[in-house]
């Protein structure tokens, strides 16, 4: 969803990005997410495990008894979410073609719909593929829905995964890397 939102926002006919009052960004670089998945799936390969600031030697793989759950859910998200406004600030300073206008999501959706009415297609503006989804986001942001992101618990996963435990919040370097990769493949032009 977000890559399409950015590609649409940076389009020369849009040049605006939505502001979300109640959303946060809990993204991870793909290498951190992959390492976390490996550490959760194969805990017996971890050589040390830090729990509450103390180092503890590995004690083999986890055993599951009949009385315990046969599976565990892990939230593999950044344990240090940042407000959307902080993300936008870093994004704006990373756009080489200059900042884009920041507008409420309802205005962004109105502009996207207007460009569709002018005949632009999903090839021109990929956000048109998700127009219904963006309309629901606008409704949520105006108070017609809860509009607030869920904060996922990551404590147990951080205990198992040094990669997740050591992960910092989203930073400008990650954003710049994302923009550079998308520009290299022609997905965006900023």
DSSP conformational letter for 185: T
- pLDDT score at 68: 55
Distance of alpha carbon 38 from alpha carbon 163, whole angstroms:
10
pTM: 0.79
pLDDT in tens, the chain (190 residues): 899 999 999 999 999 999 998 889 999 999 999 999 999 999 877 644 443 433 333 333 344 444 555 677 898 999 999 999 999 999 999 998 888 999 999 999 999 999 999 999 999 899 999 999 999 999 888 765 454 567 888 999 999 999 999 999 999 999 999 999 999 999 998 8
Please state the length of the chain. Answer: 190
- pLDDT score at 51: 39
- pLDDT score at 97: 86
Where are the strands (E) in the chain, listed by range? 16-19, 24-25, 48-51, 54-57, 82-83, 101-104
- Give backbone dihedrals phi and psi of 54, rounded to 5 degrees, phi first: -110, 145
Instruction: Look at the block and give the residue holding tokens 């954003």.
Output: 175
Domain boundaries, the chain: 2-184
Question: Partners of 56 in the beta sheet?
Answer: 49
Q: How many helices (H) and strands (E) does the chain have?
A: 8, 6
- pLDDT score at 22: 83
- pLDDT score at 70: 63
Whole-number CA gyration radius for the chain = 20
């Amino acid at each position: 969803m977000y890559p399409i939102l950015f590609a649409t926002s940076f389009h020369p006919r849009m040049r605006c990005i939505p502001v979300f009052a109640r959303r946060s960004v809990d993204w991870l670089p793909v290498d951190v997410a992959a390492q976390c998945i490996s550490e959760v799936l194969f805990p017996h390969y971890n050589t040390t495990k830090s729990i509450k600031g103390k180092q503890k030697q590995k004690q083999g793989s986890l055993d599951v008894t009949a009385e315990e759950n046969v599976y565990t859910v892990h939230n593999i998200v950044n344990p240090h979410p940042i407000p959307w406004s902080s993300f936008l600030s870093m994004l704006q300073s990373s756009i080489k073609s200059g900042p884009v206008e920041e507008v409420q999501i309802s205005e962004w959706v109105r502009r996207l719909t207007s460009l569709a009415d002018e005949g632009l297609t999903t090839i021109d503006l990929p956000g048109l593929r998700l127009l219904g989804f963006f309309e629901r986001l606008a409704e949520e942001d105006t108070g017609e829905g809860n509009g607030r992101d869920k904060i996922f618990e990551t404590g147990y996963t951080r205990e198992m995964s040094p990669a997740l435990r050591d992960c910092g919040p989203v930073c400008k370097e990650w954003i710049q890397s994302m923009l550079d990769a998308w520009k290299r493949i022609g997905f965006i032009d900023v």
